[in-house]
Amino acid sequence: MRLAPRAAHGATAESPAARLAITVIALLFLALFLVVPAVAVVAEAFSEGVRVFVAAITEPDARSALQLTLLAAAIAVPLNMVFGLAAAWAITRFHFRGKGLLVTLIDVPFAVSPVIGGLVFVLLFGARGAFGSWLDAHGIRVIFAVPGIVLATAFVTFPFVARELIPFMQALGSDREEAAVILGASGPQTFLRVTLPSIKWGLLYGVILCNARAMGEFGAVSVVSGHIRGQTNTLPLHVEVLYNEYSFAAAFAVSTLLLALALLTLLAKRFLEWRIERQLARTNGIRERAR
Amino acid sequence: MKPAIEARGIRKCFGRYPALDDVSVAVQPGELVALLGPSGSGKTTLLRIVAGLETADAGTVFYGGEDVTHRPVRERNVGFVFQHYALFEHLNVFENVAFGLRVRRVPERLVQERVSQLLELIRLDHLARRLPAQLSGGQRQRVALARALAPSPRLLLLDEPFGALDAKVRQELREWLRRIHGELDVTSLFVTHDQAEAFEIADRVVVMNAGRVVQIGTPTQVYETPADAFVVDFLGKANRLTGEVRGGVGHFLGLRVPCHMPDGAAQAWLRHADLDVAREPGPPGSTLPARISRVSRIGPIVKLDLHVDGMRAPVGAEVTPEQAAALAFERGHTVHLRPRRVRVYPMPAPQPSAPAQAPRRSGLLGFLRSRKPRPA
């Protein structure tokens, strides 16, 4: 959560010159690394005219890449929502052996390079992988096919929901759930009527972040995809293919789709942050006043 | 008549720390009983075990003679009030109170009837559509109580119900709880660390310390005949003098006190209210000279802080404003203290180092809460 900006007036206040310098550095950095590239993407996308832009994003391969990206996210995100909820619930509400290990393992996809994440699936399900011959015998394709892309996407995005929910659920405490159970609520009733309403904004926040990463993932998906145009290319992979073919305008046009998705995500994220701050202020406000 | 609540031989350890050590308590039907003790004494843990929120390592819990030790919480039909209210923030006052009826699928007509009746009882019927966030602390706790009472529980358990409120609201709610208890006649057990609160509203008080029950009795019994030095000390406003007993007489600084105790080191406890303060000494051995270091008026009484030679801790005494005026007590005066009543206890045996603070809850949450401050 944000720190109070009022801190600047306290004992740690810097001189006006220093404050100006620090702010300018931060803004310059932001401009150089975020604004300039974003503007460049859009400018490049329209450099050969609107018609080229529209053609690039409506041609069948681009449409199929967009569909695949949305499909992978549509499967991976709900999966990780369920996993994240279960993991956060277990970690914040139960006491069990190996909990520390679970907390650490959740972060593996953050720690490991996505390429390795992709390679793991190739090693497991590829033609020469552990389950490769069995899958082959049953005519199931995982690697260089849609299931592999979904798996790789799910792998790189699985920490988001749990990571967001764990501190949130810890801050809320378990009093309300205990109150519900004592009042006679069953497990599902407690979850649906008490837990879910109180964590919904935190959950949604995690889902949004998870979704952003799912749609933008390149490394892991690239390894398992095989880059078959119109079949196993997601939007980021399609951009790479176009770029390698020197179709710069088309590559940037497709990039604007990803950029638009990112901006939508940021807006949703900002709105949710505001809701969460309000909710936590409300629940903790009671405790503060209580003291 | 079988007790409405009986806990027998309850033991509970958090890790290696014994939170409850062979605790037995019984509450008679219709009684309002207080579990009183300092933090870490195990009172909340005992309440949570009685409710079924926590499982005991050993021991049995009976409701009206029925063994409920292994009965799931939701089937126990008890009402529980949490210190921090634990209201459902997304539901309005009406729906909070109705929760226990809705999850039991009580017909809508009966829900409306029962909730309206309870909201009237807690005098919040005009705020039925408000969200908990729009209520004051005292109002929230009243809603929490109405919510606990809505499904007509066989028992009402309250965990430091007024601990989070300021002094005036606390006082109002105490009287109000006493009245509600009288009207509804529901057997109630509540946890508090405030002896005034326990004495004011409880029929009987269970004093706990370090995971054990120290004394059970009516407020009068506990106040008049404290079971041991801990109880006197915990009830407060008492001075402790160390000395020894020789041949049936206790020697404490200048005081001689007859007592039935074997010879050896002993401690004498003198309540502030049990000390007469005079300008002249009494017969030898009956008074203790002291110097006034501070005179403070606290509402209807005057409190004297005194220094007694041979004691490091200040000694306190309470007199009426009339006495204080008549004798013109001022800082620096030498006075003579005559205790009307002295309680002598043996010196405690040296104990293995006690844990500083018990974990209030088991499980990860308790652990995290103990380590991490709540975000503000």
Q: How confident is the model at residue B106 (pLDDT cuts 50, 70, 90)?
A: very high
Q: Does B74 touch chain A (CB under 8 A)?
A: yes
Q: How confident is the model at residue B15 (pLDDT cuts 50, 70, 90)?
A: confident
Residue A282 has a pLDDT of 66
% of chain B beyond a pLDDT of 70: 93
- Mean pLDDT across A212-218: 90
Q: Does B141 touch chain A (CB under 8 A)?
A: no
Query: Chains A, B: CB contacts under 8 A, how many?
Result: 109
Residue B296 has a pLDDT of 92
Q: Among B14, B47, B87, B103, pick the best mutation site for testing chain A contact (most A Cβ within 10 A).
A: B103
pLDDT tens profile B80-96: 999 899 999 999 999 99
Q: Does B86 touch chain A (CB under 8 A)?
A: yes
Q: Which residue of A has its CA nearest to B366?
A: A173
- Mean pLDDT across A93-117: 87
% of chain B beyond a pLDDT of 90: 66
- A→B interface, C-beta within 8 Å: 1, 91-95, 99, 170-171, 173-176, 178-186, 189, 193-194, 197-198, 279-280, 282-291
User: Does residue A283 have a pLDDT over 70?
Assistant: no
User: Does residue A93 have a pLDDT over 70?
Assistant: yes
| A180 with B99: Cβ contact below 8 A | yes
**Least Cα separation, residue A185 to chain B (angstroms):** 5
| Candidate ranges A1-10, A167-176, A218-227, B216-225; pick with highest mean pLDDT | B216-225
**Least Cα separation, residue B93 to chain A (angstroms):** 15
Rounded Cα distance, A264 and A256, in Å? 12
Nearest to B362 among A91, A95, A198 (CB): A95
**Least Cα separation, residue A167 to chain B (angstroms):** 10
Contact B5, B189 (CB under 8 A): yes
Query: DSSP assignment, residue A8?
Result: G
Residue B149 has a pLDDT of 94
Q: How confident is the model at residue A288 (pLDDT cuts 50, 70, 90)?
A: very low
- β-pairing, B275-278 with B264-271? unpaired
- Mean pLDDT across B183-211: 93
Q: Which residue of A has its CA nearest to B96?
A: A180
Q: How confident is the model at residue B270 (pLDDT cuts 50, 70, 90)?
A: very high
Q: Is B336 helix (H, G, I), strand (E, B) or coil?
A: strand
| A182 with B73: Cβ contact below 8 A | yes
Q: How confident is the model at residue B352 (pLDDT cuts 50, 70, 90)?
A: low
Contact B85, B144 (CB under 8 A): yes
Nearest to A176 among B88, B103, B164 (CB): B88
Q: In terms of Cα–Cα distance, which of B12, B74, B91, B90 is closest to B47?
A: B12
Its ipTM equals: 0.81
| A181 with B140: Cβ contact below 8 A | no
Q: Does B96 touch chain A (CB under 8 A)?
A: no
Judged by CB atoms within 8 Å, which residues 328-367 of B form the interface with A?
A: 362-365
Cβ burial A232-263 (10 Å sphere, 16+ → b, else e)? bbbbbbbbbbbeeeebebbbbbbbbbbbebee
pLDDT tens profile B117-160: 999 988 899 999 999 999 999 999 999 999 999 999 999 999 99
Q: Which residue of B has its CA nearest to A282?
A: B133
pLDDT tens profile A139-163: 888 888 888 999 999 999 989 999 9
% of chain A beyond a pLDDT of 70: 92
**Least Cα separation, residue B199 to chain A (angstroms):** 23
User: Does residue A2 have a pLDDT over 50?
Assistant: no
User: Does residue A257 have a pLDDT over 70?
Assistant: yes
Q: How confident is the model at residue B207 (pLDDT cuts 50, 70, 90)?
A: very high
Residue B262 has a pLDDT of 87
Contacts B149 to A, Cβ<8 Å: none
- DSSP strands (E only) in chain B: 5-14, 17-27, 32-36, 58-63, 66-67, 78-81, 155-159, 187-192, 204-209, 212-217, 238-246, 249-252, 255-258, 264-271, 275-278, 288-298, 301-307, 315-319, 334-339, 343-346
**Least Cα separation, residue A72 to chain B (angstroms):** 34
Mean model confidence pLDDT for chain A = 85
Q: Among A92, A166, A182, pick the best mutation site for testing chain B contact (most B Cβ within 10 A).
A: A182
Residue B115 has a pLDDT of 96
| A92 with B78: Cβ contact below 8 A | no
Contact B292, B330 (CB under 8 A): yes
Residue B29 has a pLDDT of 95
- Mean pLDDT across A263-285: 77
State the DSSP string of A176-202: HHHHHHHTT--HHHHIIIIIHHHHHHH
Nearest to A194 among B77, B88, B375 (CB): B88
| B164 with A290: Cβ contact below 8 A | yes
Contacts B364 to A, Cβ<8 Å: 91-95, 99
Contacts A189 to B, Cβ<8 Å: 103
